[in-house]
């Protein structure tokens, strides 16, 4: 029997996400917008390895542009570890090794996945034993998408996107992602949406609209029907993302031409998510987009949330 009560190192994997539906309402006083969204976790993962240490340090690898990822308190995983330590009275530190596969600032919740993974890894490493409810509370304080990265699967998010209810989703959905070398800033895309709405007569701080996820989106997921889902996918952040990065519109057309059922900006972009009919058609679309010089990946969803893998 090992004398050590807890492991010296814990490896956690957390998924990136696509918003298959993202309706954005008015902006609250805290700067956040009311959302009605449906998240799906997909098979593109962040790996976080937490190792015992006396202070808090972090390294990043795997990202296309790792130098753009901060390694100090601006990093959401670092904030997650420190928040867990202060919430539980843990007095030591941790070294976090982030191995990134989800595009940085890509609209797929990579930073949120890192934070969720860091919470689960440090909780196991330190033996702080938080309940799922307490982990969810900390996650929601870290960012609107962090609770979903903990839970994974397919879920409806309301409030700021952090109030989750699982959605039934049958079978698997095949997606082709097209990533961009340069990310987009989420706050800037929300601000651009507000400006665009203001130009069209709406006020950014109007009382939040009553927001609901349309029934056809939920029915399509429940039926496992990619054709119906393709017809009902929608993202309010697509207009501001396309205004900011017009080439995305060309790439959407390329993906549709290659046979995708539908193409959408993922979250605040610039990653594009193409829904395909079958794994085979996704392979074809992926190859066609790669041949056209795009960085294209075939993934599937839904997959599980943050999990210890060793």
Q: What is the CA radius of gyration of the chain?
A: 19
The answer to whether 217 is annotated as binding is no
Site string for ligand C5P, 159-188 (x = CB under 6 A): -xx------------------------xx-
Decide if residue 70 touches ligand C5P (CB under 6 A): no
User: Is 82 part of the annotated catalytic residue set?
Assistant: no
CB of 189 to ligand C5P, least distance (A): 8
Buried b (16+ CB within 10 A) or exposed e, 231-245: ebbbbbbbebbbebb
The answer to whether 120 is annotated as binding is no
Decide if residue 152 touches ligand C5P (CB under 6 A): no
CB of 267 to ligand C5P, least distance (A): 9
First CA to last CA distance, the chain: 18
Provide φ and ψ at 26, rounded to 5°: -75, 165
Q: How many residues bind ligand C5P (CB under 6 A)?
A: 12
Helix axes 76-88, 132-142, angle to 10 degrees: 130
Q: Which of 17, 47, 114, 123 is catalytic?
A: 17
Stretch that binds ligand C5P, among 8-16, 78-86, 117-125, 139-147 (CB under 6 A): 139-147
Specify the length of the chain in residues.
310
CB of 157 to ligand C5P, least distance (A): 9
Which segments within 114-226 are labelled E, that is strand? Answer: 154-158, 163-166, 173-179
Residue for token pair 């290659």: 258
User: Is 17 part of the annotated catalytic residue set?
Assistant: yes
Provide the edge-to-edge strand list for the sheet that holds 295-301.
Answer: 262-265, 272-276, 173-179, 295-301
The answer to whether 103 is annotated as binding is yes
Stretch that binds ligand C5P, among 32-40, 56-64, 65-73, 245-253 (CB under 6 A): 32-40
CA distance 32 to 181: 27
CA distance 137 to 141: 6
CB of 297 to ligand C5P, least distance (A): 22
Instruction: By CB under 6 A, name the one of 17, 33, 100, 298 that touches ligand C5P.
Output: 33
Say if residues 169 and 300 touch (Cβ distance below 8 Å).
no
The answer to whether 112 is annotated as binding is yes
Q: Which of 145, 162, 194, 236 is catalytic?
A: 145
Instruction: By CB under 6 A, name the one of 47, 114, 123, 145 that touches ligand C5P.
Output: 145
CA distance 137 to 30: 18
Collapsed DSSP state (helix, strand, coil) of residue 107: coil
| Binding-site entries for ATP | 103-113
Where on the chain is the footprint of ligand C5P (CB under 6 A)? 31-33, 35, 143-145, 160-161, 186-187, 190
Report the catalytic residues.
17, 145
């Amino acid at each position: 029997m090992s004398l050590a009560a807890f492991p010296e190192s814990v490896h956690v994997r957390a998924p990136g996400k696509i918003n298959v539906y993202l309706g954005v309402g008015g902006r609250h006083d805290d700067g956040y917008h009311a959302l009605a969204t449906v998240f799906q976790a997909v098979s593109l993962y962040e790996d976080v390895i937490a190792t015992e240490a006396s202070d808090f340090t972090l390294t990043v690898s795997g990202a296309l542009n790792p130098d753009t990822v901060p390694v100090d308190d601006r990093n959401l995983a670092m904030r997650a570890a420190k928040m867990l330590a202060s919430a539980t009275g843990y007095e030591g530190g941790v070294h976090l090794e982030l191995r990134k596969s989800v595009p940085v600032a890509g609209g797929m919740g990579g930073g949120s996945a890192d934070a969720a993974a860091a919470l689960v890894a440090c909780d196991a490493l330190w033996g702080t034993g938080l309940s799922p409810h307490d982990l969810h509370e900390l996650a929601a304080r870290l960012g609107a998408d962090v609770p979903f990265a903990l839970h994974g699967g397919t879920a409806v998010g309301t409030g700021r996107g952090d109030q989750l209810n699982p959605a039934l989703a049958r079978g698997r959905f095949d997606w082709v992602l097209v990533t961009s070398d340069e990310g987009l800033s989420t706050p800037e895309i929300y601000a651009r949406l507000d400006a665009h709405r203001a130009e069209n007569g709406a006020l950014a701080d109007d009382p939040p609209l009553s927001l609901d996820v349309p029934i056809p989106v939920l029915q399509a997921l429940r039926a496992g029907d990619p054709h119906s889902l393709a017809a009902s996918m929608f993202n309010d952040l697509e207009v501001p993302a396309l205004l900011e990065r017009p080439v995305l519109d060309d790439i959407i057309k390329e993906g549709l031409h290659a046979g995708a059922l539908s193409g959408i900006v993922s979250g605040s972009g610039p990653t594009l998510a193409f829904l395909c009919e079958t794994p085979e058609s996704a392979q074809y679309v992926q190859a066609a987009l790669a041949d056209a010089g795009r960085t294209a990946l075939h993934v599937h969803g839904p997959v599980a949330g943050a999990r210890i893998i060793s």
